[in-house]
Chain A
Amino acid sequence: MIAWRAIAAAILLVTGPALLAGEIPSDARRSGYAFMGPDTRAMQDDDTANPGMLFVLDGEQLWKKTTGTAEKACADCHGDARGSMKGVAARYPAFDKALGRPITLDQRINLCRANHQQATPLPYESRDLLALSAFVGRQSRGVPITAGEDPQLEPFVEQGRKLFMQREGQLNLACTNCHDDNFDKRLAGAPITQGQPAGYPLYRLEWQTLGSLERRLRSCMSGVRAQAYDYGSPELVALELYLMSRARGLPMETPAVRP
Chain B
Amino acid sequence: MAALINVPSRAKRGEIIEIRTLTSHIMETGFRHTADGKLVPRDIITSFICRYNGDEIFRADLFPAIAANPYLSFFTVAKESGKFEFEWIGDNGYSSTATASITVE
Contact = CB atoms under 8 A, between A and B. Distances in A.
Given A54-B22, A54-B24, A48 B4 contact: yes
Interface in A177-216: 205, 208-209
A16 to B, nearest CB: 45
Interface centre among A47, A51, A208 (most CB of B within 10 A): A51
B67 A208 contact: yes
Interface in B18-68: 20, 22-24, 27, 67-68
Given A208-B67, A208-B68, A208-B69, A51 B2 contact: no
A243 interface: no
A110 B5 CA distance: 32
Contact of A49 (B20, B67, B68): B20
B4 A54 contact: yes
A205 B67 CA distance: 9
A230 B69 CA distance: 28
Taking residues whose C-beta sits less than 8 angstroms from the other chain, chain B's interface range is 10 to 19
Interface string A5-25: 000000000000000000000
Given A54-B22, A54-B24, A49 B2 contact: no
A48 B67 contact: no
B2 A58 contact: yes
Nearest to B6: A48
B74 interface: no
Q: Which of B3, B24, B67 has the most CB atoms of chain A within a 10 A radius of its CB?
A: B24
B69 A49 contact: no
A34 interface: no
Which range contains the number of A residues in contact with the other chain? Answer: 10 to 19
Interface in A53-80: 53-55, 57-58
Contacts of B75: none
B5 A51 contact: no
Contacts of B6: 46, 48-49
A208 B29 CA distance: 12
A118 B5 CA distance: 36
Given A49-B20, A208-B69, A209-B68, A54 B5 contact: no
Given A48-B4, A49-B71, A209-B68, A54 B23 contact: yes
20 contacts: A46-B6, A48-B6, A49-B4, A49-B20, A49-B22, A51-B69, A51-B71, A53-B4, A54-B4, A54-B22, A54-B23, A54-B24, A54-B69, A55-B2, A58-B2, A58-B24, A205-B67, A208-B27, A208-B68, A208-B69
Given A48-B6, A51-B69, 16 more contacts: A48-B4, A48-B5, A48-B20, A49-B4, A49-B22, A51-B68, A53-B4, A53-B22, A54-B2, A54-B3, A54-B22, A55-B2, A58-B2, A205-B67, A208-B27, A208-B67
